[in-house]
Chains A and B, each alone.
Chain A
Amino acid sequence: MRKVDVTEITKNVKEMCIEANHFLSEDMKKVFEQAVQKEKAPLGRQVLNQLKENLEIAGAEMIPICQDTGMAVIFMKVGQEVHFDGGNLTEAVNEGVRQGYVDGYLRKSVVKDPIYRDNTKDNTPAVIHYEIVEGDQVDITVAPKGFGSENMSRIFMLKPADGIEGVKESILTAVKDAGPNACPPMVIGVGIGGTFEKCAVMAKHALTRDLEEESPVPYVRELEKEMLKKINSLGIGPGGLGGTVTALAVNIETYPTHIAGLPMAVNICCHVNRHIHRII
């Protein structure tokens, strides 16, 4: 058994919130560089260059990459040998978010109630997805999610008969309906299978995948490549102002599902695809 003091969690979550909002991960930066080279539209290239410069200024001067510093979405893979000391784990995670957003000059974009909408003033609570895994480590991914793209995300409860063509059509529908609103170039996370809520969490989790990685399942890997190509021939382009780079990646996760269902979710992310990963 391994003891972990929750203050360790708070400290790391705080740092990760601040880091995520000022620096993109290396894999995102690399794919972005490639996009600038690939884009055929002159205005599209101008937009991508502005975004590239934006990233440089954000990191150098500690100005958040985007003013929508997001609602904190956190994946916690907790080893079953871990015992947490010193307080409530969820409270400790939220304290980390609170400190990160207050001390880090990040925007407070969370309201307490979806109808009455009083700002919580500290960007808490976070949305936390816990998973119990083997081992004695705590694997944390902090992925602040902006709502320009989140608002364009979709769930489709397909019929088994809709099959893979139904899946492809649904992904394209979600992307076309999003258009400029999701600040292209986008990163598309897709979850296929499970249940109504499982496919959505998979889609969100898919956004946090390192972009150098592909699905381990051969047909899914092919589907990722095919959908990226199809999306990039829609012509939406950077900022939705026309062009050949509409998406940077399509990441798909799958899970077993019910004989009567084919649930799928498309979680759209913009080019400010923030995810910082640490193992404690």
Chain B
Amino acid sequence: MERTIQAPFTKETAESLKAGDYIYIDGIIYTARDAAHKRMIETLDEGKELPVEIKDTVIYYMGPSPAREGRVIGSAGPTTSSRMDKYTPRLLDLGMGAMIGKGKRSKEVTEAIVRNKAVYFAAVGGAGAILSKCIKESRVISYDDLGTEAIRELRVEHFPVIVVIDSKGNNLYETAVKEYSEE
């Protein structure tokens, strides 16, 4: 099932997404990976405010290569999500709407996705060039000193993702592999 949705999106939209859906995202998403997540959690521990509004926000685990002159962004494919697992349940409990990455998530993350009716999307790992062309605007909004790991606000158009873990906890990595496994 293929469909276009606007980001950020509501819990109602999130609940309508099923594991295996091929989705195109239009709208605003934010990048954050290892170092930014560590800082955000430290910020929360200090009782301070996050540098980005977290409610309903779509976070994209990505650190781009440098942009050539006249270009919005360099190569921009997903990084491995499991490295952010440690920080994720807390952000989900604060209202984070969805994550885009690639690879498996932990049991704790899956449980947090289900109790918060969030969604986990995979973008195709290694498709950095093609994904960069779906990013129409990019600006660093926080943690500039982190370079490629800074928090960037991206305006995306027709950004292709696949629903891997839906709000009910169905996991495409598990079900699809079973379908094709000869074991």
- B-contacting residues of A (Cβ < 8 Å)? 40-41, 43, 46-47, 50-51, 53-55, 57-58, 61-69, 105-109, 119, 121, 148, 151, 179-181, 183, 233-237, 239-244, 270-272
Contact = CB atoms under 8 A, between A and B. Distances in A.
A180 B173 contact: yes
B65 A235 contact: no
Contact of B64 (A57, A67, A270): A67
A62 B79 CA distance: 21
Contact of B80 (A47, A51, A151): A151
Most buried by A among B68, B75, B178: B75
Interface of B: 20, 22, 62-68, 74-77, 79-80, 82, 102-104, 122, 124-130, 132-133, 147-148, 160, 162, 164, 172-173, 175-183
A241 B182 CA distance: 15
Contact of A50 (B127, B173, B182): B127
Contacts, number: 163
A179 B103 contact: yes
A109 B148 CA distance: 8
B103 A66 contact: no
Contacts of A109: 63, 148
A121 B172 CA distance: 38
A270 B128 CA distance: 13
A51 B102 CA distance: 15
23 contacts: A41-B180, A43-B20, A43-B162, A50-B130, A50-B160, A53-B130, A63-B65, A65-B75, A66-B128, A105-B68, A109-B148, A179-B104, A179-B173, A180-B122, A181-B102, A181-B103, A183-B126, A235-B183, A239-B122, A240-B122, A241-B176, A242-B172, A271-B126
A105 B125 contact: no
A50 B103 CA distance: 18
Contacts of A240: 102-103, 122, 173, 177
A67 B33 CA distance: 13
A98 to B, nearest CB: 14
Contacts of B172: 241-242
Given A66-B77, A240-B173, 9 more contacts: A41-B176, A50-B160, A58-B128, A65-B126, A106-B65, A106-B66, A121-B147, A236-B180, A239-B122
Q: Which residue among B79, B124, B125, B183 has the maximum number of chain A CB atoms within 10 Å of its CB?
A: B125
Nearest to A107: B65
Nearest to A68: B79
Contacts of B177: 179, 234-237, 240, 242
5 closest Cβ contacts across the A-B interface? A242-B176, A235-B181, A183-B125, A235-B180, A181-B103
A108 B148 contact: yes
Given A54-B129, A233-B183, A234-B181, A239 B124 contact: yes
Nearest to A181: B103
A87 B122 CA distance: 47
Contacts of B77: 66-68
A67 B124 contact: no
A64 B125 contact: no
Contacts of A121: 147
Most chain-A Cβ atoms within 10 A of its Cβ — which of B63, B64, B103, B180?
A: B180
Contacts of B164: 241
Given A61-B129, A179-B103, A180-B102, A233 B182 contact: yes
